[in-house]
Amino acid sequence: EDLPRPSISAEPGTVVPLGGHVSFVCRGPVGVQTFRLERESRSIYSDTEDVSQTTPSESEARFHIDSVSEGNAGSYRCVYYKAHKWSEQSDYLELLVKREDGTWALPQSQL
């Protein structure tokens, strides 16, 4: 049985001022044990088992960044662990970080 792909979104949005806050929301089916938030490189990630059921058919986890830095700019995606296997990855979500002078912090991968 194939696991449904997770989705990813950002609150309040994908454009964040330097020093602002953002939460990545990963959503998947009920019964997820672990959600993982990955950067462009799969070697950089964070896991959480703090999973909440939001509807009868869906669960989610939130990854908070309290003070966004330039290093947080870039692409993120979600993956989850359920029933002894990892799901496919979600689509990428691009986080844009805006400096006070109105310029953009570039993701490391684009330097």
Instruction: Tell me the one-letter amino acid at 91.
Output: D
Predicted confidence (pLDDT) per residue in 7-42, tens digit: 999 999 999 999 999 999 999 999 999 999 999 876
Domains of the chain in sequence order: 7-99 (2.60.40.10)
SS3 at position 7:
strand
How much is the pLDDT for 1?
A: 65
H helices, E strands: number in the chain = 0, 11
Residue 2: band (very low, low, confident or very high) from pLDDT cuts 50, 70, 90: confident
Predicted confidence (pLDDT) per residue in 69-100, tens digit: 999 999 999 999 999 999 999 999 999 999 99
Q: Are 65 and 14 in contact (CB under 8 A)?
A: no
Q: Are 96 and 15 in contact (CB under 8 A)?
A: yes
CA distance 8 to 94: 10
How much is the pLDDT for 106?
A: 81
How much is the pLDDT for 109?
A: 56
